[in-house]
Chain A
Amino acid sequence: MAFELLKDRRSQVVRSQRNEVASVDCNKASVAGSVSQRACTFCGSRVVLYPIADALHLVHGPVGCAAYTWDIRGALSSGPELHRISCSTDLREKDVVFGGERQLETSLRQLISKYSPKAAFVYGTCVIGVIGDDVAAVCRRVEQDVGIPVIPVLAEGFCGTKRDGYNAATRALLTLIGRGDTSSIGKYSVNLMGDFNVAGESWIIKKYFEKVGIDVVSVLTGDGRVDDISRAHGAKLNVVQCAGSMTPLAQGMRERYGIPYIRVSFFGVEDTSDALYRTAKFFGSPTILSSTQALVTEELSRVLPELRSIRCKLQGKRAGLYVGGAFKAFSLVRALRQLGVSVVVAGTQTGNQEEYAELQAVCDENTIIVDDTNPLELAAFLVEKDVDVFIGGVKERPVAYKLGIGFCDHNHERKVALAGYAGAVAFAREIHATATSPIWSLMPRRSRPERARIGKATP
């Protein structure tokens, strides 16, 4: 396929060099006509707040923006499941002409009385930004009457990028935090931030902390509860996993409540162990530290044999990845390296300058680093680098499959837990299953002798 990068996109693609960091143009609106794989500001805010399961999430605008975000994520709840319904004010023409405030207020009251949520988030979409409904005023009015927090999330899709949506979510969360009673919170306590309990991942991580004697005050926002979040300011440390989306909140809480934060990741065994040790060290308690050591040793002895045997089968394979945030990309590069797989294409939707510099540093030389890519670019990169397995989200999946390339979903839509030690094994198994499936050797592109690298490994 003859392929040429769009002129407007050239500054957003670099190749990592050994001693030099190239600047990646990023954090800007998608190029018109490029067919971006990234959604909008509203999407960013929705991603972060979505798992709060006892809150009402009302999308104010025409019906589509709500319809497309109905029960699409794998975020689990141990109790209420309000996050799994999709509420829309479903604006019609008369609302757009005369204003949607009345429709918003009526819908809000109706839904609150029907579902008795602990709080309500109201997302204003693009149309609201244009017609100028005073969403905040309606929220205030309803809040006074119904006695629960009613929080506007002002993240019209066109106002910035997905990353700006994270900031809008941060502002919303900060209005909740600080409302609750923290008197019972002990000194070994954390908030787990930036884990969304996809397929129960927060539960996996929480169990580790509980085992070593650390209380998790709240998870932001996996299996999230309004009451837990409102007392999050009582925790002594913020453990931040998805740093791209949660750093603004961690910073906000440091400023406001003096809570320090550390950036960690629970993807891959190395990063998981590292995250647990750093948290333990922060508290400086010998008991916690020794229980952490015991836990890590036990978990490793359980998973390493299988990881080693999978590594033998994957050694030398090449991976491409395109994920939401850069911090997940760092982790995946390390986790894949541990499986004998090298990353040759790495992209993100929301990375910033610093993060791309770090990404180049983590990656091997000559890795393609790309911001806010599109399907044609991806296809060209995958072919150029002769990738064996691609890690991304649903929108990238058919690009990989059409090229006879394995695929692993690492987005919030997945239903498989990939975090922690058990998750690292699940990840390895999935990469193994898709990268070495015998079906690829039948695909036209792979059945040519010079490209028949896939499908040769013993499953």
Chain B
Amino acid sequence: MTTVNTAAVQEDSVVRPIHNPQATVNPCTLCAPLGAALATTGIQGAISLLHGAQGCATYIRRYLISHFREPVDVASSSFGESQTVFGGEDNLSRALDNIEQQYHPDIVTVATTCVAETVGEDVPMLLKRYNSRRNKALPVVYAATPSYKDGHVEGFHSMVHGIVQSLATNTGAPRRAVNVLPPLISPADLRHLREIVQGFGVKATLVPDYSDTLDGVILDEYRAMPEGGTPLDDISSMPQSLTTIDLTMTGKAPRASDVLARRGAQIHLLGLPVGIRATDAFVEHLTQMTGVARPQWLAQERGRLLDGYADGHKYVFGKRVGLYGDPEWVASLATFLFEIGARPVVCATGARNRALTKALEQLPPGSVDEVLDDTDFVRFEVACRRTNPELLIGNSKGYGIARNLGIPLLRLGFPIHDRIGAGRIQVLGYRGSTWLFDSIVNLLLERKQNASDVGYSYL
């Protein structure tokens, strides 16, 4: 089988059937500004402001903090009743002033909550007016993130698009660097992608890169802004890099790499490097674009992953697995499962785009029994009861279903609210895939061992 280029497939909006309005029970998505705020944490010196009422920002912070277990500061322009009637310009200005005074940021990203979008705030105009009143402009980036259209996946992509659109403007000298546009992945995975790229002797520019900001070390002082994130200068020179590897499936959200393409950059769409074939594609592309041979340690890690496959292949063969989460994850994991001989029987996402469905069509017919798009967890559970998975892979919100079905859950993706170390989970590259493969095998072994009357300690 050829490599499934999962990210290469895009399609426009799929909407809930208009004549069959249904309630959503146990949502499988978060809202758009969460994605925008998260993307912002990966930019050096950036802080995020949500234009709208206070609650959204606080809820979003709690969600992010519970996953990353790190401080995540997201400001709000704190709409009251009068702002919903007369507009939020004053609050927006006051918020920017206060943010500047407290955080001294290099840049502020502004995203909208539903209420600001509904009252029709013209945020770009308000930001322009704000800066025209100042002596020195405060650098701001804006993304529209109405959650009645989009979820956190699209919000994330919209903000990355906004950042690239306003900041990646340098068309100067070419640089020996590789850009990577990742979807929502863990800090550990971001770090590893950077490590792989740097293994080819070039600079890595990841947008966003919250590997340090959201997996920080303990310091002896509290920092208003954690260290790390992609430097603004690096973002600025992105169009001059050797290549841009885009790992996202943006659906109907705007795509940052399209902007870079218009500015002369070379774009390559790939699926997340999970497993041998997908990682090979990533690595081969780097070899090609840098002209540097694959480093020896990568070859070793590849060999080790294959060795692991051999050790565990029988335990996963034909095993039925349920996948849910962000489309990039589900698509890549489905491809990976196919590679190791397991079956992704049900694949679900709460994201509101057809990207996943399209991507999965690349697998041989019959590989997947059911694909759910724009779903909630109640519908996913019903699909699980039809397809009988023996293992689930996804975020902690699916724990209840795994429990009901009496099958193990491998926690991956966002959010993970019932374990520590979510930021340290690494499943990308050969190294990460080895951990992933071992974990799948061991969960299945453990289940069998627990269910056995004998209780062998030698398997």
- Scan residues 39-92 of chain A and give those whose CB is less than 8 A from a CB of chain B: 39-43, 58, 61-71, 85-92
Inter-chain contact B218/A395, CB cutoff 8 Å: no
Name the contact of A158 in the complex, choosing from B79, B99, B220, B378 (C-beta under 8 A): B79
Complex interface bits, B40-82 against A, C-beta within 8 A gives 1, otherwise 0? 0000000001001111111111110110011101111111110
- Min Cβ gap A89→B in Å is 6
Partner of B151, one of A63, A126, A404, A443: A63
A91, B148: Cβ atoms closer than 8 Å: yes
Q: Is the CB of A111 within 8 A of B23?
A: yes
For A6, A58, A127, the residue with the greatest tally of chain B CB atoms inside 10 Å of its CB is A127
Check if A106 sits within 8 Å of B21, measured CB to CB: yes
**B240 close to A (CB within 8 Å):** no
Contact B54 A66 (CB under 8 A): no
User: Judging by beta carbons under 8 Å apart, are A68 and B224 in contact?
Assistant: no
Interface residue tally for chain A (C-beta within 8 Å) = 78
B195 interfacial contact with A, CB 8 Å: no
In the complex, the answer to whether A111 meets B25 with C-beta atoms within 8 Å is yes
Among B59, B62, B115, contact of A127 (Cβ-Cβ < 8 Å): B115
Among A1, A93, A102, A106, the residue within 8 A (CB) of B148 is A93
In the complex, whether B146 has a CB less than 8 A from a CB of chain A is: yes
Minimum distance in angstroms from A107 CB to a CB of chain B = 4
Q: How far is the CA of A91 from the CA of B115 in the complex (A)?
A: 12
B102 touches A67 (CB 8 A): no
Q: Is the CB of A67 within 8 A of B30?
A: yes
Q: Count the A-B residue pairs with Cβ separation under 8 angstroms: how many?
A: 242
Contacts of A379 in B (CB 8 A): 222
Query: CB-CB < 8 A to B31: which residues of A?
Result: 62-64, 67-68
CA distance A155 to B326 in the complex (A): 31
Nearest Cβ distance between residue A324 and chain B, in whole angstroms? 12
Residues of chain B within 8 A of A34, CB atoms compared: 75, 78, 98, 102
Q: Establish whether residues B26 and A404, one from each chain, have CB atoms under 8 Å apart when the complex forms.
A: no
Is the beta-carbon distance between B79 and A402 smaller than 8 angstroms? no
Query: Could you say which of A29, A126, A399, A403 contacts B52, with CB atoms under 8 Å apart?
Result: A126
Residues of B close to A86: CB separation below 8 A: 25-27
Q: For the complex, give the distance between the alpha carbons of A67 and B94 in Å.
A: 29
Among candidates B29, B69, B148, B218, residue contacting A96 with C-beta atoms closer than 8 Å: B148
B54–A38 touching, CB < 8 Å: yes
- A449 interface contact, C-beta 8 A: no
With both beta carbons as reference points, the residue of chain B lying nearest to A89 in the complex is identified as B23
A130–B114 alpha-carbon span in the complex (Å):
10
Task: From the candidates A31, A62, A95, A129, name the one contacting B98 in the complex (CB within 8 A).
Answer: A31
Contacts of A375 in B (CB 8 A): 71, 73
Question: Which chain B residues border A40 with CB–CB below 8 Å?
Answer: 53-56, 58
| Residues from chain B with Cβ under 8 Å of A130 in the complex | 84, 115, 118-119
A251 at the interface (CB under 8 A from B): no
> Do A32 and B76 have beta carbons less than 8 Å apart?
yes
Minimal Cβ-Cβ distance residue in A for B15:
A92
User: Within the complex, what minimum Cβ distance (angstroms) separates B372 from chain A?
Assistant: 15
A147 contacts partner chain B, Cβ-Cβ < 8 Å: no
For residue A17, CB closer than 8 A to chain B, the reply is no
Q: Are B84 and A403 in contact (CB under 8 A)?
A: no
Asked if A65 contacts B59 (CB within 8 A), the reply is yes
In whole angstroms, how far apart are the Cα atoms of A71 and B58 in the complex? 17
Given contacts A36-B78, A375-B71, whether A126 and B53 have CB atoms under 8 Å apart is yes
Is the Cβ of B27 less than 8 Å from the Cβ of A88? Answer: yes
The verdict on A127 contacting B22 (CB below 8 Å), with A35-B74, A36-B54 known, is no
- A397 contacts the other chain (CB 8 A): yes
A61 touches B114 (CB 8 A): yes
Expressed in whole angstroms, the Cα–Cα distance for A404 and B220 within the complex equals 8
Q: Give per-residue flags for B12-32: 1 if the beta carbon is below 8 A from chain A beta carbons, else 0.
A: 000110100111111101111
Task: Determine whether the beta carbon of A30 is less than 8 Å from that of B59.
Answer: no
- Closest Cβ neighbor of A5 among chain B residues: B102
Contacts of B69 in A (CB 8 A): 397-398, 401
Q: Is the CB of A39 within 8 A of B23?
A: no
**Does B149 sit within 8 A of A, measured CB to CB?**
yes
Question: Which chain A residues border B207 with CB–CB below 8 Å?
Answer: none
- Please, which residues of chain A bring their CB within 8 A of the CB of B24? 63, 66, 87-90
Residue of A nearest to B155 (CB): A64
Q: Is residue A353 contacting chain B, with contact meaning CB distance below 8 A?
A: no
**Please, which residue of chain A has its CB at the minimum distance from the CB of B417?**
A72
The answer to the question of B167 belonging to the interface, with a C-beta cut-off of 8 Å to chain A, is no
Report if B97 contacts A (CB, 8 A). yes
In this assembly, does A131 line the interface, its C-beta being within 8 Å of a C-beta of chain B?
Answer: yes
For A416-445 the 0/1 string (1 means CB < 8 A from B) is 000000000000000000000000000111
Q: A62-B114, A398-B65 are in contact. Are A443 and B218 (CB under 8 A)?
A: yes
Known: A1-B223, A62-B31, A88-B27. A39 touches B76 (CB 8 A): no
| Chain A residues in 8 Å Cβ range of B33 | 64
Which of A32, A68, A88, A403 lies in contact with B23, CB distance below 8 A?
A88
* Contact residue among B83, B113, B220 (Cβ-Cβ distance under 8 Å from A444): B220
| Residue numbers in B under 8 Å from A6 (CB-CB) | 98, 101-102
In whole angstroms, what is the CA distance A1 to B226 when docked? 13
For A136, what are the chain B residues with a Cβ–Cβ distance below 8 Å?
none
Question: When the two chains form their complex, are residues A30 and B76 in contact, meaning their CB atoms are under 8 A apart?
Answer: yes
Kindly state whether residue B96 has any CB partner on chain A within 8 Å: yes
Asked whether A398 and B83 contact (CB < 8 A) given A58-B23, A63-B29, the answer is no
Q: Which residues of B contact A131 (CB under 8 A)?
A: 118
Q: Report which residue of A39, A68, A102, A374 has the largest number of chain B beta carbons within 10 angstroms of its beta carbon.
A: A68
Interface contact B115-A158, CB-CB below 8 Å? yes
Residues of A173-217 contacting chain B, CB below 8 A = none
Residues of chain A contacted by B103 (CB below 8 angstroms): 376
Residue A94 is within 8 A (CB to CB) of chain B in the complex: yes
* Interface residue A110 (Cβ < 8 Å from any Cβ of B): yes
- B425 interface residue, CB < 8 Å from A? no
Residues in B with CB closer than 8 Å to A157 are 53-56, 115
Is residue A448 within 8 Å, beta carbon to beta carbon, of the partner chain?
yes
- Pair A32/B84 contact, Cβ less than 8 Å: no
Smallest beta-carbon distance B293→chain A, Å: 41
The answer to whether B222 and A127 touch across the interface, beta carbons within 8 angstroms, is: no
Residue of B nearest to A6 (CB): B98
Cβ–Cβ contact A404 & B98, under 8 A = no
B147: Cβ under 8 A from any A Cβ: yes
- Residues of B near A89 (CB, < 8 A) are 23-24
User: Could you tell me the distance between the alpha carbons of A403 and B221 in the complex, rounded to whole angstroms?
Assistant: 7
- Closest-CB distance, B98 to chain A (whole angstroms): 3
Decide yes or no whether A22 CB sits under 8 A from chain B. Answer: no
Contact between chains at B65 and A395 (CB < 8 Å):
yes
Q: Find out whether the CB atom of A403 lies under 8 angstroms from the CB atom of B54.
A: no
* Contact of A158 with B147 in the complex, beta carbons under 8 Å: no
Q: Does A37 contact B (CB under 8 A)?
A: yes
Set of chain B residues within 8 Å of A259, measured between Cβ atoms: none
Contacts of A111 in B (CB 8 A): 23, 25
- Interfacial chain B residues near A21, Cβ < 8 Å: none
Least distance between A336 CB and chain B CB atoms (Å): 23
Residues of A within 8 A of B223 (CB): 1
Q: Report the minimal beta-carbon distance from B202 to chain A, rounded to whole angstroms.
A: 34
Instruction: Take A96-B148, A157-B55, A397-B69 as given contacts and tell me if A445 and B77 are in contact as well, using a CB distance cutoff of 8 Å.
Output: no
Evaluate contact between B148 and A399: CB separation under 8 angstroms: no
A357 is an interface residue with CB less than 8 A from chain B:
no
**Residues from chain A with Cβ under 8 Å of B56 in the complex:** 40, 64-65, 157
A31-B78, A92-B148 known, 6 other contacts, Cβ within 8 Å: A1-B222, A33-B78, A34-B75, A67-B31, A90-B16, A127-B114
In the complex, 5 of the A-B residue pairs with CB atoms within 8 angstroms, ordered by the A residue number, are A32-B75, A33-B75, A35-B61, A130-B119, A159-B81
The 3 closest A-B CB pairs, nearest first, are A40-B55, A64-B31, A33-B95
A residues with a Cβ closer than 8 A to B are 1, 4, 6, 8, 29-43, 58, 61-71, 85-96, 102-103, 106-108, 110-111, 126-127, 129-131, 157-160, 374-376, 379-380, 383, 394-395, 397-399, 401-404, 443-445, 448
